Amino acid sequence: MGFLGNLFRKKTTNEEGAVGGIEDFMTLIRVYYQAVMAGNLGISNINMLPDLAMFKRTLRVTTQNNKLGVAEKSRCKKMLMQIYHLDESFFKEIDASIKKNCRNANMVNSYFFQFQRFNESLMMAVSNEMKYTMRIPFKKMLYTQTEAAISNILTKNNWKDASMFKAAGEVRQLQHTLGYSGQWMTDFVFNVIRLAKKEPKKKA
């Protein structure tokens, strides 16, 4: 698990200075979601939230005010902001989405299923829309291209490819349900693409 795996094995607290890969990024994103759900819904059974459990036990995050999720959310948010340079608005949208769509513990699995579908459809649509521009080495230019691709996915209707038309339609439907803005989608996808480009290629 990249730098988090090394961090956990060494039991160091110097996570702020580390640079994580795509697997670490997605793990911390899942931890943040689970921490918000635990705090909002009063979930006390940590075994329901495996990524949060690993994060809490490995980094020895002390439970705050006898409420699971509060301290873990703060710690995870700090790491995501410092390592991946995400801003406050990114987390506010996650908080609002969960508050709107996850009103009790029975809705947790349904929410994660919807988010997974949203993530898969979004990445497929972006990959098809950007194609070779994903190889751009300059961060600012890559961000601009990602932003343009997201805008097209949310507004363009004259797709020639039927699969792209379907993917864009599903992205829009789930975006409306989950409540994420084009800006949030751009920041999320940009980090995924940027980190994926840095991953070492596996030898055949």
pLDDT mean by block of 10 residues, the chain; 204 residues: 42 43 92 96 92 94 92 96 95 97 92 94 90 73 93 91 89 96 96 81 52
What whole-number distance in Å separates Cα of residue 185 and Cα of residue 154? 10
171, exposed or middle or buried, with CB in 10 Å at 0-12, 13-18, 19+?
A: buried
d(CA 150, CA 186): 6
Q: What is the pLDDT, as a whole number, of residue 196?
A: 84
Which helix H or strand E contains 195, and what residues bound it?
A: helix 182-198
Q: Measuring CA to CA, which residue among 29, 163, 153 is closest to residue 97?
A: 29
CA–CA dist 135, 193 (Å, integer): 9
Per residue in 15-65, pLDDT (tens digit) is 433 456 889 999 999 999 999 999 999 999 999 899 999 999 999 999 998
- Strand, helix or coil for residue 134: helix
The CA–CA distances, whole Å, from 182 to 171, 185, 196 equal: 11, 5, 21
* Euclidean distance between CA atoms 79 and 73, whole angstroms: 10
The Cα diameter of the chain in Å comes to: 55
pLDDT of residue 162: 86
Contact 40, 74 (CB under 8 A): no
Give me the count of residues in the chain: 204
Q: Is this model's pTM higher than 0.75 or not? A: yes
Domain ranges of the chain: 1-85, 112-197
Residue 159's SS3 state is: coil
Measured in whole angstroms, how far is the alpha carbon of residue 185 from the centre of its chain? 9
pLDDT at 8 (0 to 100): 39
In the chain, the percentage of residues whose pLDDT exceeds 70 is: 84
What pLDDT score does 139 carry? 85
Residue-level pLDDT at 201: 60
Distance CA 93, CA 183 (A): 10
pLDDT given for residue 134 in this prediction: 66
Q: Which helix (H) or strand (E) holds 33?
A: helix 22-41
Contact 43, 49 (CB under 8 A): yes
